[in-house]
């Protein structure tokens, strides 16, 4: 890994830590909002990695993955804004839907890992 990658990973981790601490301090439902914030950062990071992989390998499906991760990120941002305004119990239908969305993001991330043969 070159120096640029370490800087990118460092900035990403520092922003996650700062946002997580702010979320925990200022939230009534800190664990739930933290879950959405971490998923938001993860989707943005995966979109960045997909765009970068497209730049390196020029595979069209990587662009589709990048835009899909961005759409997941937008949906997570909407969830964070919505959860600030109202919050239901951890096992309500809306919360269960959130868990399925996060699971889909995780499965999609695992499914987009491509082995490049040299």
Place of tokens 């970068």: 52
Question: What digits encode the pLDDT tens for the residues 79-109?
Answer: 877 776 676 776 777 778 878 888 887 777 7
Question: Is the CB of residue 87 less than 8 Å from the CB of residue 61?
Answer: no
Number of separate helices (H) and strands (E) present in the chain = 4, 0
Q: What is the pTM of this model?
A: 0.72
Question: What digits encode the pLDDT tens for the residues 40-73?
Answer: 888 888 888 888 888 888 888 888 888 988 988 8
Place of tokens 């922003």: 15
Question: Is the CB of residue 72 less than 8 Å from the CB of residue 40?
Answer: no
Question: What digits encode the pLDDT tens for the residues 4-39?
Answer: 777 877 887 888 788 777 766 766 666 777 778 888
């Amino acid at each position: 890994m070159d120096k640029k990658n370490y800087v990118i990973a460092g900035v990403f981790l520092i922003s996650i830590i700062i946002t997580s601490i702010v979320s925990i301090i200022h939230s009534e439902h800190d664990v739930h909002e933290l879950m959405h914030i971490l998923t938001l950062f993860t989707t943005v990071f995966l979109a960045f990695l997909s765009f970068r992989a497209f730049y390196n390998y020029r595979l069209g499906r990587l662009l589709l993955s990048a835009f899909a991760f961005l759409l997941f990120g937008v949906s997570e941002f909407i969830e964070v804004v919505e959860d600030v305004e109202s919050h239901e119990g951890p096992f309500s239908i809306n919360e269960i839907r959130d868990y399925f969305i996060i699971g889909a993001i995780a499965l999609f991330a695992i499914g987009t890992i491509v082995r490049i043969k040299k």
